[in-house]
C-alpha cells in the first residue's frame, strides 16, 4: 500500500540525459544556456545539431505516447471511473491480533526507524509476505467482466482471516475495506465498491496482511477480458520497472539508484513515473522510513542487510498529475489516462535482495 508524500519532499532531477560534446577541440567548463564564443562557430553548429536530434527523439516518444493514449481511450469509448456504492466494513474475529492503529481514524505517523530484523523476524516476515502473495494471486483469478470490486474485497477478506491474519488496510486511517482495488485511471488506493468490472479494464489489487505481528505487502495489475495492446504494454513495462528497481538493491547500495533505474526504463517507452506515491519500510510497523522514491531523486542513505521495504512504482500512459476523490483515498490520473502498478516487499541481503512476496 503506497504512501502519499508532499511534492516538496520529492527532489527529482530535471536532467534526463547525458550531454555529449561533438567537438574535440573545445570543452565547456560552465553553464552557457544561449551563447558560445563566436570563434567556436563550428562547435556551436555541431551542438545545435545534437540538440535537434535529442529533441527529435523526445518528440517521437511524445507522439507515440499520445497515439497510445488515444487508442486506449477511444477503442472502446471507456467512460471515466465513477464511484459505486460502498458496503459496510467486514468483521474480523476477536481472536485475530490487530495492528495498533485499528480503532482510530487518524492516519498513523510514518515511523522514523528502519526495520531491520533478526532471524526470527525474518522468518515471520517471510510467512506474512508469502500469505500476501498467495492472496493477491487468488484475487487475480476472480477478475473478469461483471465481477464487482466489492466481491473481490469479500473474497480477500475471508482468505486472510481464514489464515489467522488481519487485512492491514482495514481501519488504517479510516480506510473502510480490506484491500485496495484500483481500476483503469485510478493510480492507487481505490476503495472496493459496487462497480462491475468491464471488458478491457485493468485493475491493480493491493494486498497487505498482518500475521504474527508482521505486515506483508504486495500488489499486481491484472487484465479484465480483452485489453488493448497499448495498455498491455504499459502493464508489462511497469512490472519490468519493478524488477529493475529490485535488481540494484543490496547491502550498502544507495536508495536513489532505485528511482534512477526505474525512470531510465520507463522513459524508453515514453511513460510517466508518478512521484506522489512512494514505497516504504515495513515489518512490525506498516509504514516507516526509508521512503522509496521511484523517480530520479537525490535522496541520501543506503540499504542495510536485514532491512525490509517495499518498491511499488506507478506508471501512466499520460499525465502523472493526480486528483483525489472526496473519500481522501481514491487517486486518479488528472487526465484520465490509464495507470499501472506492481509491488513487492524485499529483504536486503549482503549480495542482493530477496523478494519475500513470492512463493
Residue ranges at the known binding site for a divalent metal cation: 206, 217, 280, 312, 343
Contact 198, 224 (CB under 8 A): yes
Give kind and range of the element (H or E) at residue 166: strand 166-167
Report the interhelical angle of 149-162 vs 119-141 (nearest 10°): 140
Other beta carbons within 10 Å of 114: 18
Beta pairing partners, 93? none
Give the Cα separation of 207 and 19 in Å (integer): 42
Using CB atoms within 10 Å of the CB of residue 91, give its burial: 0 to 12 exposed, 13 to 18 middle, 19+ buried.
exposed
Residue stretches of the annotated binding site for substrate: 189, 287
DSSP character string of 298-331: ----B--TTBEEEE--EEESS---EEE-TTSS-E
> Sheet harboring 272-273: ordered strands across?
272-273, 314-316, 339-341
Other beta carbons within 10 Å of 346: 24
In 3-state terms, what secondary structure has residue 185? Answer: coil
Residue stretches of the annotated binding site: 189, 206, 217, 280, 287, 312, 343
Amino acid at each position: 500500500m503506497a504512501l502519499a508524500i508532499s511534492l516538496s519532499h520529492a527532489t527529482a532531477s530535471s536532467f534526463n540525459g547525458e550531454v555529449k560534446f561533438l567537438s574535440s577541440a573545445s570543452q565547456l567548463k560552465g553553464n552557457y544556456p544561449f551563447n558560445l564564443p563566436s570563434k567556436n562557430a563550428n562547435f556551436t553548429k555541431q551542438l545545435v545539431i545534437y540538440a535537434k536530434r535529442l529533441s527529435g527523439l523526445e518528440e517521437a516518444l511524445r507522439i507515440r505516447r499520445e497515439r497510445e493514449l488515444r487508442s486506449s481511450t477511444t477503442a472502446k469509448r471507456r467512460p471515466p471511473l465513477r464511484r459505486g456504492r460502498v458496503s459496510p466494513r467486514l468483521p474480523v474475529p476477536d481472536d485475530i491480533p490487530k495492528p495498533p492503529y485499528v480503532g482510530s481514524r487518524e492516519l498513523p505517523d510514518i515511523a522514523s526507524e528502519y526495520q531491520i530484523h533478526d532471524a526470527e523476524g525474518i522468518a515471520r516476515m517471510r510467512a506474512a509476505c508469502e500469505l500476501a502473495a498467495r492472496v493477491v494471486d487468488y484475487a487475480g483469478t476472480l477478475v473478469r467482466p461483471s465481477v464487482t470490486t466489492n466481491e473481490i474485497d469479500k473474497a480477500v477478506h475471508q482468505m486472510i482471516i481464514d489464515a489467522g491474519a488481519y487485512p492491514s488496510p482495514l481501519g488504517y486511517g479510516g480506510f473502510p475495506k480490506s484491500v485496495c482495488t484500483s481500476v483503469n485511471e485510478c493510480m492507487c488506493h481505490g476503495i472496493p465498491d459496487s462497480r462491475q468490472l468491464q471488458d478491457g479494464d485493468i485493475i491493480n489489487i493491493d494486498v497487505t496482511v498482518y500475521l504474527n505481528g508482521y505486515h506483508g505487502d504486495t500488489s499486481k495489475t491484472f487484465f479484465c477480458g480483452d485489453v488493448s495492446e497499448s495498455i498491455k504494454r504499459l502493464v508489462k513495462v511497469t512490472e519490468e520497472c519493478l524488477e529493475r528497481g529490485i535488481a540494484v538493491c543490496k547491502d550498502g547500495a544507495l536508495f536513489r539508484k532505485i528511482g534512477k533505474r526505474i525512470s531510465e526504463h520507463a522513459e524508453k517507452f515514453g511513460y510517466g513515473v508518478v512521484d506522489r506515491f512512494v514505497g516504504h519500510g515495513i515489518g512490525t510497523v506498516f509504514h516507516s522510513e526509508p521512503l522509496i522514491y521511484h523517480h530520479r531523486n537525490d535522496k541520501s542513505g543506503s540499504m542495510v542487510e536485514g532491512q525490509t521495504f517495499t518498491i511499488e512504482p506507478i506508471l501512466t500512459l499520460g499525465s502523472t498529475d493526480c486528483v483525489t476523490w472526496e473519500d481522501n483515498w481514491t487517486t486518479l490520473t488528472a487526465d484520465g489516462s490509464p495507470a499501472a502498478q506492481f509491488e513487492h516487499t524485499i529483504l536486503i541481503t549482503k549480495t542482493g535482495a530477496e523478494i519475500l512476496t513470492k512463493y
